[in-house]
Structure 1
Amino acid sequence: MSEKNQVGVQSLEVGLTVLDALMTYRHPVMLKDLSEKLAMHPAKVHRYMVSLVRMNYAKQLEDGRYALGDQAYRFGLSCIQRSDSLQAAQAQINELHRHLDCGLQISKWTMQGPLIVQWLEPNQPVSVITRVGSIMPMLNSATGRAYAAFMPEALVRPLLEKEWQQHQAQQKVVYPQNWDEFLTLKQQILSEGVATVAGDLLAGIHAICVPVLNQHHEIEYAISVLGTASDLPLDMQHPKIQYLREMAARLSAQLQPI
């Protein structure tokens, strides 16, 4: 029997359609706008939203607008963690972790910015506030800088502009401070193949990020290494950085067509 002829749960299908519509918005949305998008009566949409909120797939803000809930993000994160490219790379990622003896973060791109999907703890205590599920800042994290350099400018510039506005409002100095400074930094990152920060996000912690590129020369995922200044010197000729770059090249080669 084909899937089309099998009996399903129509109310579940409608509920998932409502969730799909909610996912298309990058910002919280009013019930009226959601019902118009679905061409569905607001009262009917509201009933499904009540259930989605109850199950934590959606949440209602104080102003009445709706946004995705924590369970929706966990669902998406679980799917990302099971992507074929990451599953195939686990042996090399673990080998890299053992060899460098530092903390390791694996990230994937989302429309909100780089998302941490895997975290391997270092053997020595390192205070790290970002965990699996964290969206990394674009300006002052090695992860964000790597994506900013290798991703299309049309995608990353709005995120950079937003962070500059936030830092300006908080009267905080950040590097790069503007688009021209970013373009200079971008050329350095593309030339060296890695992005680095030295205590920019966490005092006393160095971070280095390398992209793993697919056959279209796009970032499939990125690997960030975190450690103290003594454990992770930011010297491009240091054996640890050389090994990291070699591993990224090997992983990128695995994603190329045979």
Structure 2
Amino acid sequence: MKPDGRGVHSIEIGARLLFALVVEGEPMMLKDLARQAGIAPSQAHAYLVSFRKLGLIEQEAVAGRYRLGPFALDLAISRMGRFDIARMAHEQALKLASATAMTVIVLTWGSFGPTVIQVHESRDQFNINTRLGSVYSVTGTASGRVFAAFMAKGLIRDFIRNERKQENPSRRIGSPQFLSKETLSEIRCNGFATIASQPAPSLGALAAPVFDHVGQMRLAISLVGPGKWLGTSIGSPCVEALLMATHALSYQLGYDVQHSKPVVCQTSGRKVLKPV
């Protein structure tokens, strides 16, 4: 939501210095910091003096470079302690459903694999066999494949092995399929997974990961809709809308600014959020 009302211009200018340090991820000299913030070094120095008094900034004794201070850490810890991931995901999912007219499903990793925790129906009521608590196939759904690509390899390997041995796979949504290393690499490269005619005939699905402040995948968000309307190729409106939503949620969880910089995928040329 965009803030309403008139703000304090000087605070917004000073915030550019803090943002520059966050983006850079390492201590900076005054001239470089001022250049990144788009202000004169003398003006930047005045702000930094105040920020040092508040503990938002500290300066190295020898090199003289500036970095975020202890109060900045206090602010981050306070925010992390008040995360309501389900609520934040709910807000993003509602926006995504409205923007795409597709059904949006939010999943977390549960005891039995990818587990549905939210379902937001589209405006067009098409039937999908998904409800809260439903468990998805790791290999046979777009959401499952995202977990397979971005979660710990040892854990995923065991789940895939067990899924193949399962005597009653009908308890999961999506039929188990062969999942190659090349497919997983492509998912990591593109930043999303897709699978045709799943979890039901004539439907298509997209899914992308959500990361937290330490680079762990916390959720998958999936778009499900008629295959003829759901564009699954790189750059399609649905793909871009999904990635915008998952990137925004990852940013809210602290991942984007604290633990990664966008990586350019060599095969597609797109910028992708990746754990580092």
Asked whether the equivalents of residues 215 and 255 of structure 1 are also in contact (C-alpha less than 8 Å), the reply is yes
* Match of residue 232 from structure 1: 230
How does the TM-score come out when normalised to structure 2? 0.57
SS in 1 for 2:254: coil
Give the gaps of 5 or more residues in structure 2. Answer: 1-82, 259-276
2:223 matches 1:221: no
Asked whether the equivalents of residues 117 and 132 of structure 2 are also in contact (C-alpha less than 8 Å), the reply is yes
Query: What pairs with 1:102-251 in structure 2 (closer than 5 Å)?
Result: 102-166=102-166, 174-176=176-178, 181-251=179-249
Structure 1 residues 94 and 167: CA distance shift in structure 2, 3 A:
same
Query: What pairs with 1:76-95 in structure 2 (closer than 5 Å)?
Result: 84-95=84-95
Structure 1 residues 129 and 169: CA distance shift in structure 2, 3 A:
closer
* Match of residue 55 from structure 2: none
Could you give the per-residue CA deviations for residues 189-219 of structure 1, whole angstroms, max 9, x where no partner exists?
A: 0001001110143111000011111112111
Give the gaps of 5 or more residues in structure 1. Answer: 1-82
Asked whether the equivalents of residues 103 and 227 of structure 1 are also in contact (C-alpha less than 8 Å), the reply is yes
Structure 1 residues 190 and 167: CA distance shift in structure 2, 3 A:
farther
Could you give the per-residue CA deviations for residues 63-91 of structure 1, whole angstroms, max 9, x where no partner exists?
A: xxxxxxxxxxxxxxxxxxxx711213332
Q: Distance in 2 between matches of 1:167 and 1:138?
A: 16
Q: Distance in 1 between matches of 2:249 and 2:176?
A: 32
How far 1:236 sits from its partner (Å)? 1.4
Asked whether the equivalents of residues 117 and 132 of structure 1 are also in contact (C-alpha less than 8 Å), the reply is yes
Counterpart code for 1:106: V
Q: After the TM superposition, which segments of 4 or more aligned residues of structure 1 sit over 6 Å from their partners?
A: 167-170
How far 1:107 sits from its partner (Å)? 0.7
Asked whether the equivalents of residues 119 and 131 of structure 1 are also in contact (C-alpha less than 8 Å), the reply is yes
* Match of residue 96 from structure 1: 96
RMSD, matched Cα: 2.4
Aligned length: 171
Could you give the per-residue CA deviations for residues 127-154 of structure 1, whole angstroms, max 9, x where no partner exists?
A: 2112111111111111111111111011
SS in 2 for 1:89: helix
Counterpart code for 2:193: A
Asked whether the equivalents of residues 128 and 199 of structure 2 are also in contact (C-alpha less than 8 Å), the reply is no
How far 1:185 sits from its partner (Å)? 1.2
How far 1:169 sits from its partner (Å)? 10
Q: Distance in 2 between matches of 1:88 and 1:200?
A: 27
Asked whether the equivalents of residues 163 and 169 of structure 2 are also in contact (C-alpha less than 8 Å), the reply is no
Counterpart code for 1:185: T
SS in 1 for 2:160: helix
Q: Distance in 2 between matches of 1:115 and 1:97?
A: 19
